[in-house]
Amino acid sequence: MSLQVKNHSFRYVLNQPQVSWQPQRSFDVVIAPDGSFQVQSGPAYIRGQVSQGHMQGQIVGDVCSYQFEADNSGTW
């Protein structure tokens, strides 16, 4: 998983080829001033928190779910 955060936002595309009716879900995510983020696309969503260069969250698709963590030494 790779994310490029610019201007407190990022885009994430969840590929789910096993879901014939929705093989991709796209999320245009804006990180709030408190570091939180949450976006829903149908029943799928991505949500989490950014703090001091560390991001953690959850991605829930139509038939799958993931927890993720990422670190960045730069600025968000």
The pLDDT tens digits along the chain (76 residues) read 778 899 999 999 999 999 999 999 999 999 999 999 999 999 999 999 999 889 999 999 999 999 999 887 655 4
Exposure on the CB side of residue 56, measured as CA atoms within 13 A: 3
- Whole-angstrom distance, CA of residue 15 vs CA of residue 59: 11
What's the pTM? 0.86
> Quick one: pLDDT at residue 76?
47
pLDDT of 74 reads 59
Burial of 25 (0-12, 13-18, 19+ CB in 10 A): buried
pLDDT of residue 34: 97
* Alpha carbon distance 37, 71 (integer Å): 16
For 61, the token pair is 């698709």
